Amino acid sequence: MSAIELVGGRPVAIVGAGLVGAGWAIAFARAGLTVRIYDSNQDTADASLPWAAEQLEALHKHGLLGDAPDTVKRRLTVVQTLEAGLDGCAYVQESVLERVDVKRKVMLEIERLAADDLIVGSSSSGIAASAFANDLTISPRVLIAHPVNPPYLVPVVEIVPSTQTSPQAVIFVDALMQAIGQSVVHVRKEIEGFVLNRLQAVLLREAWALVRDGVASCEDVDKTVRDGLGWRWSFMGPFETIDLNAPGGVADYAARLGSLYYSIAKSRTGEGPWEPELVTRVEAERRQYLPATELASRRAWRDDRLMSFAAIRSRSGSHE
């Protein structure tokens, strides 16, 4: 089913129109959906439209829009109240501040205003839905739909139900996300960091430890990933990578290298938090490669590279 069919022709709402929420607005509008944008700070909501227009132009240049940028832009409307945002909506993507009390407050407001069948996805990157969405009439219809930024470029989205989310809500959000072109990962337990940030966390911890111990510089760690490991991971993922890296597949790989990897893991079990002195050292090394004044332009470079990457992937098929 198309995204429009899934929502029965009804609009979707964005609540919280910062970088994440505004990014979601583009992802939904690109798929043909009518999108209402609300933010408790009216300036934030207003600023999202010209920003989205710029992104749509860039997407168009990279061949990543099916419709004309103006056509997609016309699907976006800023509304003044949460009530106006939710009226008649089939789905709302909540992207407010990452704080339990703030998210709980929004859920209480949504409960008061929403239609009986509204489904609520939260962009929370770390807080589990059970911490702010339970024991409400809407609880069976709330879950986490955690994107990578920006969601209209990097397709992965983690769906994490709370202890009270209904299977129907999970099925709906899975279908909607796939219909707008996202790649859905089901996280089946409310574990800290979900899957994506856990995987990033362990790699980062080893990276910091290698720099701390004088084994390699930050730049050499970055090279190891961007000129080595990252190539395969950008189209295969870690399990497929090792499955293809031993003659007999993944079990063969585990037999050959499991003990080495266990030994490496054991060597790090006594680690503490990142020391302030180490953070200072890493910051200093990064600033040699990229002065603080160039952070913004480098982010623009990154987004341009991600658009090129997305364009290549959309031509070659994501996994075939």
Q: How far apart are CA 226 and CA 302, in angstroms?
A: 13
Instruction: List the strands of the sheet with 156-161, edge to edge.
Output: 76-78, 35-38, 12-15, 91-94, 119-122, 142-147, 156-161, 183-186
Q: How far apart are CA 35 and CA 22, in angstroms?
A: 10
In the bound state with its own copies, the residue whose beta carbon lies nearer, of 1 and 284, is: 284
In the bound state with its own copies, the residue whose beta carbon lies nearer, of 74 and 268, is: 268
φ/ψ region of 113 (left if φ > 0, alpha if ψ in -120 to 50, else beta) reads: alpha
Q: How far apart are CA 258 and CA 256, in angstroms?
A: 6
In the bound state with its own copies, the residue whose beta carbon lies nearer, of 34 and 93, is: 93
Taking the complex as a whole, the smallest distance from the CB of residue 163 to its own copies amounts, in Å, to: 15
Taking the complex as a whole, the smallest distance from the CB of residue 296 to its own copies amounts, in Å, to: 9
DSSP string spanning 214-240?
TSS-HHHHHHHIIIIIHHHHTTT-HHH
Taking the complex as a whole, the smallest distance from the CB of residue 301 to its own copies amounts, in Å, to: 9
Contact 183, 318 (CB under 8 A): yes
In the bound state with its own copies, the residue whose beta carbon lies nearer, of 10 and 146, is: 146
Closest CA to 25 of 57, 52, 55, 59: 52
In the bound state with its own copies, the residue whose beta carbon lies nearer, of 100 and 295, is: 295
Taking the complex as a whole, the smallest distance from the CB of residue 67 to its own copies amounts, in Å, to: 23
Taking the complex as a whole, the smallest distance from the CB of residue 42 to its own copies amounts, in Å, to: 22
Taking the complex as a whole, the smallest distance from the CB of residue 315 to its own copies amounts, in Å, to: 10
In the bound state with its own copies, the residue whose beta carbon lies nearer, of 38 and 132, is: 132
Taking the complex as a whole, the smallest distance from the CB of residue 316 to its own copies amounts, in Å, to: 7
In the bound state with its own copies, the residue whose beta carbon lies nearer, of 135 and 266, is: 266
**What angle do the packed helices 42-61 and 295-316 form, to 10 degrees?**
50
